[in-house]
Amino acid sequence: MKLLIYLVSYLVFTVTLARVCWKAYLIMTATGRKALYEKNRPLLISLPKGLLDVVFLGRLFRSSPLIWFGEWVFHVSLLIVLFIHLRFFTYPVPSAVFCLYPFSSFTGIVMVTSLVYIMVIKVLFKKVEYVSRYNLLLISLIGLLGVSGLAMRYIHRIDIIQVKVFTMGLVTFRPEEFPLDILFSVHYGGFLLFLLLLPAHLFTAPVLITFASARDRGPEEGD
């Protein structure tokens, strides 16, 4: 059983990585070195502003400050949660992860709450009709991961050491027994499903937004 779980896990990771690499290749091919380094010199000069636009979701803020607030809080809390999860995949655990660990519960609650906030604003206040079932499924999976993670911390505590042994086995390619816990199985299975369903362009979106923002500002720099 443990070999099957590891095999499925590596297959999901490989497929996800291949999709991201292929998408990145398509972006680089479409952009072209000549267009980047010869025709768009102002673009390169204004890239820092484009990066700031990505970090602070500037375009979204200009279009809808209400949704921007929820999206920005969600992305920040999600990044912190993912960073804290490095404790399961590293040994020794980086000191920065230890420093943020006391805030793991808070950031998990904020992440789930911000998801609810985003959906309320989009569906009720903004009357957004283009929220597809696919997007709802992704949001639901993120919510499931957040809620199950909080449940394992506050309601149904699991054997963290056993989880650590399993995840380190993934990193070191040394299969270990999968923790026999329903809540963890739901959490880990939801994570694998989320990776499979997650659009590859989301991984490369920061690059596209950076260049788009910089291109918009490019002529101003060149004048």
What are the boundaries of each domain within the chain? 2-222
Amino acid found at 155: I
CA–CA distance, 172 with 213 (Å, rounded to integer): 40
Check residue 47 and give its pLDDT: 54
- Residue in the structure block whose two tokens are 């059983």: 1
- Chain center to CA of 24: 17
How much is the pLDDT for 217? Answer: 52
State the amino acid at position 145 in one-letter form.
L
Could you say which of 1.20.950.20, 3.90.1170.30, 3.30.43.10, 2.60.40.10 is the CATH number of the domain covering 2-222?
A: 1.20.950.20
* Cα–Cα distance for residue pair 116/126, rounded to 1 Å: 14
pLDDT at 146: 94
Greatest extent of the chain over all pairs of C-alpha atoms, in Å: 64
- Cα pseudo-dihedral 26, 216, 40, 221, rounded to 10: -150
Cut 0.75: pTM above it: yes
Q: What is the pLDDT of residue 212?
A: 58
Q: What are the backbone angles phi and psi of residue 181, rounded to the nearest 5°?
A: -140, 130
Instruction: Give the gyration radius of the chain's Cα atoms.
Output: 20
pLDDT in the model for residue 61: 79
- In a 3-state reduction of DSSP, which class is residue 109? helix
Distances (CA, A) of 114 to 68, 78, 86, 137: 11, 10, 22, 16
pLDDT value of position 111: 95
pLDDT computed for residue 208 by the predictor? 60
Cis bond leading into 65, ω under 30°?
no
A 10 A CB-CB count for 200 gives 18
Residue 149, exposed/middle/buried by CB under 10 A (0-12, 13-18, 19+)? buried
Cα separation, 56 vs 65, whole angstroms: 12
Residues 194, 221: Cα–Cα separation, whole Å: 41
Going residue by residue through the chain, which has 223 residues, state the pLDDT in tens, using 9 for 90 and above.
889 999 999 999 999 999 888 877 777 676 544 444 445 545 545 555 656 666 777 777 777 788 889 989 999 999 999 999 999 999 999 999 989 988 888 999 999 999 999 888 877 766 555 567 788 888 899 999 999 999 999 998 899 999 999 999 999 999 999 998 999 999 999 999 999 998 876 666 656 655 555 555 544 444 4
